[in-house]
């Protein structure tokens, strides 16, 4: 464990900009957004809560070129890797799902694999909670415990710093000149902050009635033919925001286009809530009704992934609640499944 002052963190980020495109969370009036770090950036805070954008944005791009003509090299090899500052535990848990889907199957996603190997994650403890946060109900604490290279825990005047990977250890060793030794007061402060945030999240869970993980086991399967799905889908506008903003959703669509005389194949995020998502040749669709597509989203998160990967594909980040224009609340749906099942 080390201590890093606010000014020294800026020194570290300045150093990292030579090797990485560094992104930090900045408040823009509607929430935290990741923006490129520059030396003249007046204020950023890696603590607080998760950013509006999911961390997956830096590892599986929303839109990217995956092939050009018949070139066998992967596009984008010459781009700088990314350093994301302020990633939160709910986003880091998303890697358990993304890694399983994109790296552990018959084929590896070469772009995702490259980003996982090259990109740097400087995570940070949450220092407060949004009223939509329910991470602890999904087994995630409001501070990172894994899947980071370096983690920051805000304390008076700076941060407690710990490495979570060999890459992180090497970076801290190379930066030893700007690191200090923490004292017991700092360690105690970290513990108090973590407990306070956990209490806020637990209060959210109790107020919104989020079921615990044990009671969710088999809930979707038991309620597969329930009227809950059609009832919840009544207000859905089929925008797909819940999928695109989710830190674990990873489905994509491939399409071709001509660009400056060359053919390109692109990949973009797709959404299982969209009617054309599962449509096959001839126009047949196994999920023609919107309520079926809504059910599919829950089935994958709370039935399929627990079975195949032993993990719920929901991190309790609450982004889908915030992003849904129809105000469909995943916590309420889960509560209905358990109480009626």
Mind giving me the DSSP string for 152-205?
EEEETTEEEEEE-SHHHHHHHHHTGGG-B---HHHHHHHHHHHHHHHHHHHHHH
Q: How far, in Å, CA of 294 to CA of 288, rounded?
A: 11
DSSP output for 49-87: S--SS-GGGGTS-SEEEEEETT--SPTTTTSPPEEEEEE
Question: Domain end: 191, 208, 225, which one?
Answer: 208
Among the listed residues 248, 246, 151, the one whose alpha carbon sits nearest the alpha carbon of residue 194: 151
Do 194 and 257 fall within a single domain? no
Do 127 and 218 fall within a single domain? no
Helix 89-103 vs helix 110-118: crossing angle, to nearest 10: 140
pLDDT at 224 over 90: yes
Give the Å distances, CA to CA, from 221 to 104, 145, 173, 300, 340.
25, 31, 50, 11, 12
Contact between 124 and 97 (Cβ < 8 Å): no
Question: Domain end: 208, 236, 258, which one?
Answer: 208
Do 196 and 260 fall within a single domain? no
Banded model confidence at residue 300, pLDDT cuts 50, 70, 90 = very high
Question: Domain end: 208, 226, 252, which one?
Answer: 208
% of the chain beyond a pLDDT of 70: 100
Average pLDDT over residues 72-85: 91
The total of structural domains in the chain comes to: 2
Do 189 and 71 fall within a single domain? yes
Do 239 and 119 fall within a single domain? no
Do 104 and 170 fall within a single domain? yes
Residue 230 tokens, joined:
């059609």
Do 10 and 132 fall within a single domain? yes
Among the listed residues 138, 85, 152, 165, the one whose alpha carbon sits nearest the alpha carbon of residue 305: 138
Average pLDDT over residues 310-316: 96
Do 266 and 313 fall within a single domain? yes
pLDDT the model gives residue 78: 83
pLDDT at 258 over 90: no
Contact between 83 and 46 (Cβ < 8 Å): no
- List the domain range (segments joined by +) for residue 263: 213-340
What 3-state DSSP class applies to 45? coil
Give the Å distances, CA to CA, from 133 to 138, 140, 242, 282.
11, 11, 15, 43
Among the listed residues 208, 190, 221, the one whose alpha carbon sits nearest the alpha carbon of residue 306: 221
Do 160 and 218 fall within a single domain? no
Dihedral angle sign, alpha carbons of residues 270, 272, 273, 277 = positive
Among the listed residues 211, 156, 208, the one whose alpha carbon sits nearest the alpha carbon of residue 182: 156
Do 24 and 65 fall within a single domain? yes
Tell me: the pLDDT tens digits for 133-190? 999 999 999 999 999 999 999 999 999 999 999 999 999 999 999 999 999 999 999 9
């Amino acid at each position: 464990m080390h201590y890093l002052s606010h000014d020294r963190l800026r020194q570290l980020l300045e150093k990292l900009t030579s090797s990485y495109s560094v992104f930090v969370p900045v408040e823009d009036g509607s929430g935290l957004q990741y923006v490129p770090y520059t030396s003249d950036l007046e204020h950023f805070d890696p603590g607080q809560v998760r950013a509006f954008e999911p961390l997956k944005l830096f590892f599986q791009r929303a839109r990217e070129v995956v092939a050009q003509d018949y070139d066998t090299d992967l596009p984008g090899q010459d781009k700088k890797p990314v350093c994301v500052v302020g990633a939160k535990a709910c986003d880091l848990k998303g890697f358990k799902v993304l890694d399983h889907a994109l790296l552990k199957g018959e084929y590896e996603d070469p772009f995702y694999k490259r980003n996982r190997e090259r990109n740097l994650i400087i995570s940070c403890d949450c220092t407060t909670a949004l009223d939509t946060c329910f991470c602890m109900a999904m087994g995630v604490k409001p501070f990172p415990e894994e899947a980071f290279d370096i983690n920051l825990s805000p304390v008076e005047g700076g941060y407690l710093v710990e490495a979570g990977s060999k890459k992180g250890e090497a970076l801290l060793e190379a930066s030893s000149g700007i690191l200090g030794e923490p004292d017991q007061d700092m360690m105690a402060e970290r513990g108090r902050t973590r407990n306070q945030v956990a209490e806020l999240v637990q209060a959210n869970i109790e107020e919104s009635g989020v079921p615990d993980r044990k009671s969710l086991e088999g809930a979707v399967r038991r309620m597969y033919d329930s009227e809950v799905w059609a009832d919840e889908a009544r207000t859905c506008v089929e925008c797909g925001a819940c999928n695109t903003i989710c830190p674990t959703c990873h489905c994509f669509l491939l399409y071709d286009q001509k660009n400056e005389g060359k053919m390109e194949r692109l990949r973009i995020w797709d959404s299982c809530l969209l009617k054309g998502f599962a449509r096959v040749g001839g126009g047949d669709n196994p999920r023609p009704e919107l309520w079926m597509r809504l059910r599919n989203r829950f089935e994958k998160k709370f039935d399929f992934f627990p079975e195949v990967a032993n993990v719920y594909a929901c991190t309790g980040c609450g982004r889908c609640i915030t992003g849904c224009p129809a105000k469909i609340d995943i916590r309420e749906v889960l509560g209905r499944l358990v109480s009626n099942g």
